Chains A and B, each alone.
Chain A
């Protein structure tokens, strides 16, 4: 193909030029790479911290818009912002805590077809004075019938006060909502951060909603990301679902993903207005467990994220209902270890020592 024939997509667009080539290849019998699907259960819930009183409490006057100060913004939970390179595919050490799989740029690109079927359940508390939002998710990522990742993260950071659960193609979800951008142009969380710098205010959930919605709509459903967006901002707690075609719903409780029907069954029977935080977390956990045990695409552990005004608790692996039952007490032993002959450590950066009191340079 000559350089002239390659069309450069207009800025901001996605080029479908290779579709015909792919079609031609698949007709000739070339196997397309399979998708890594993550069946998931993701949940969210809004709750009320104080016990439901007889008289509905009146809404307090809206607080003045807070100016964003670095000290007041709660730091994002460490797990979601650590950028490490830990591949879960290595043999895990028995007895170690299951840890998050955080991949670097290259690894993410290699796993770009990873699909995350998820169930997102979200629930509200009383609408009159709701205190927060609870998001929940399972942790299984599948590639066809195989579980590719037993403990992946489906609750993504958008802003310190806004989190987003993603179902659908994992690469898309991660790319749309997360820090790593491959085939989509803008990450909403980066956009939100820039917006925060620009306005000097805490991000609002509807901002994130509009950015995600317009992004997904412009790709006409080809970016297969079904999202549950929850957060608490100056206007209160919010919970939204965003479908791959770009439509949104605002509800007190929602489920998404392959296990959504099982989780919705739990929600529809047990949800009521005015749940307290602990009741809410229990209900979310129960609903995710229902998805884990009744849906083949969901499994492993339960992640919960509780967002309240000014505080976010990311309860990674809040419940581990699928422990590894048969663990060899002897542990692993590798035969024929390689003998260490020589150990030499070369620091990559030289430590330079500054000696005070030297003579000044003179001409």
Chain B
């Protein structure tokens, strides 16, 4: 297989950064928007936060096909469960359904998921369901290839009982930091806020967050940088 075809035949995966954070009154889920096949960005505007029910959403990472199929199955089971139960499903039930599928098919699936939502019994909850099918309830969860750069950041920045705006700013900042350092994460930041009032979807394009260390201003073309800069080294601002 020649190198140019190698990328296009790679499995479609989401090198990703996904985050789920609880705050006082609900949860905020955040993700980047890059889906890659090998070294090519197949989709620079993907939506990795998918709806399971009106009050429970799922952040997907890992293999795109596997995570889409898992979310489709769970959505189907949850829909049935909601009809049988007669009221909205709880986040715990949703997370356990995700966990059962992930665990029982662990040899064949490669997907790390974060389940987040709000229900009237327990309020806002975040459950991490990483690769092997563990389920772990956490005040905040991070996942995907970009999450490795965020463990230290969250250790320092995380506080219990944040307000909605504080929490959203934290999520956006974290995802943008991961995008800056992880090659497999990129694009823009999507957030979903779930609380007792409902669901709000937000979208933060590249210019919504500040430039981090050694990041350059976005330019229209390399020629602009070369012609405008007076120094001999073009990439030094």
Asked if A126 CB lies within 8 Å of chain B CBs, one says: no
B4, B8, B42: the one contacting A249 at CB < 8 Å is B42
- Can you add 10 more A-B contacts, CB < 8 Å, to A217-B65, A245-B65? A213-B68, A221-B11, A221-B65, A243-B42, A244-B9, A247-B63, A247-B65, A249-B43, A257-B8, A258-B8
Question: Which residues of chain B are within 8 angstroms of A258 by Cβ–Cβ distance?
Answer: 4-5, 8
* Chain A residues with CB under 8 A of B45: 251
Q: Which residues of A contact B69 (CB under 8 A)?
A: 214, 217, 246
- Whether B96 sits at the interface, judged by CB under 8 Å, is no
A242 smallest CB distance to B (angstroms): 10
Pair A243/B5 contact, Cβ less than 8 Å: no
B98 on interface, CB distance cutoff 8 Å: no
**Residue among B12, B43, B46, B64 facing the most chain A CB atoms (10 A cut-off):** B12
A287–B126 CA distance with the chains assembled, in angstroms:
44
CA distance A226 to B65 in the complex (A): 13
Q: Please name 5 pairs of A and B residues whose Cβ atoms are closer than 8 Å in the assembled complex, sorted by A.
A: A213-B68, A224-B9, A243-B64, A245-B63, A246-B69
Tell whether A179 is near chain B: CB-to-CB under 8 Å.
no
CB-based contact A248/B68 at 8 Å: yes
Name the contact of B43 in the complex, choosing from A217, A251, A257, A261 (C-beta under 8 A). Answer: A251
Give the most central of A213, A221, A248, A249: most B CB within 10 Å. A249
Q: Does residue A122 face the partner (Cβ distance < 8 Å to B)?
A: no
Cα–Cα, bound, A246→B12 (Å) = 9
Enumerate chain A residues within 8 angstroms of B12, measured Cβ to Cβ: 243, 245, 247
Contact, CB under 8 Å: A243 / B4:
no
A317 interface hit (Cβ, 8 Å): no
1/0 contact string of B39-54 vs chain A (CB within 8 Å) = 0101101100000000
Measuring CB to CB, which residues of chain B are less than 8 angstroms from any residue of chain A? 4-5, 8-9, 11-12, 35, 37, 40, 42-43, 45-46, 63-65, 68-69, 108
Say yes or no: is A260 at the interface (Cβ < 8 Å to chain B).
yes
A54-86: CB near B (< 8 Å → 1, else 0) gives 000000000000000000000000000000000
Interface of A is mostly: loop
Binding site for B on A (CB under 8 A): 117, 213-214, 217, 220-221, 224, 226, 241, 243-249, 251, 256-258, 260-261
Across-interface contacts of A256 in B (CB, < 8 A)? 8
Contact B68 A247 (CB under 8 A): yes
Q: Which residues of B contact A247 (CB under 8 A)?
A: 12, 35, 63-65, 68
Q: Is the Cβ of B64 less than 8 Å from the Cβ of A245?
A: yes
List residues of chain B with CB within 8 A of the CB of A261.
40
Q: Which residues of B contact A217 (CB under 8 A)?
A: 65, 69
Q: Which single residue of chain B is at the shortest CB-CB distance from A210?
A: B72
* A-chain residues with CB within 8 Å of residue B65 when the two chains form the complex: 217, 221, 243, 245-247
Contact of A245 among B8, B11, B43, B46 (CB under 8 A): B11
B46 surroundings in chain A (CB, below 8 A): 249
Please measure, in the bound complex, the distance between the C-alpha atom of A247 and the C-alpha atom of B37, giving whole angstroms: 11
| A249 and B11 in contact, given A243-B65, A258-B4 (Cβ under 8 angstroms) | no
Contacts of B42 in A (CB 8 A): 241, 243, 249
Are B64 and A260 closer than 8 Å at their CB atoms? no
Contacts of A213 in B (CB 8 A): 68
Assess A249 versus B35: contact at CB under 8 Å? Given A243-B64, A258-B4, A261-B40: yes
Q: Give the distance in Å from the alpha carbon of A248 to the alpha carbon of B66 in the complex.
A: 11
A246 partner residues in chain B, CB cutoff 8 A: 65, 68-69
Cβ of B170 to closest chain A Cβ, rounded Å: 29
Nearest CB of B to A259, in Å: 10
- Distance, CA A214 to CA B70, complexed state (A): 12
Nearest CB in chain B: distance from A189 CB, A: 22
Residues in A whose Cβ lies below 8 Å from that of B64: 243, 245, 247
A224 to chain B minimum Cβ distance, whole angstroms, is 7
Closest to A226 in B: B8
Residue of B nearest to A220 (CB): B108
* B residues less than 8 Å from A214 (CB atoms): 69
Nearest Cβ distance between residue B203 and chain A, in whole angstroms?
Answer: 14
B200 CB to closest chain A CB, in angstroms?
20
Chain A residues lying within 8 Å of B4, measured Cβ to Cβ, are 258
In the complex, what residues of A have CB within 8 A of residue B9's CB?
224, 244
B102 shortest CB reach to chain A, Å:
16
CB distance from B184 to the nearest CB of A (A): 15
CB distance from B14 to the nearest CB of A (A): 9
**Whose C-beta in chain B lies nearest to the C-beta of A260?**
B8
List the B residue with the shortest CB-CB distance to A255. Answer: B42
**Which 6 pairs across A and B sit closest by C-beta, in order of nearness?**
A247-B64, A247-B65, A245-B65, A246-B65, A243-B12, A247-B12
Would you give the shortest CB distance from A126 to chain B, in whole angstroms?
16
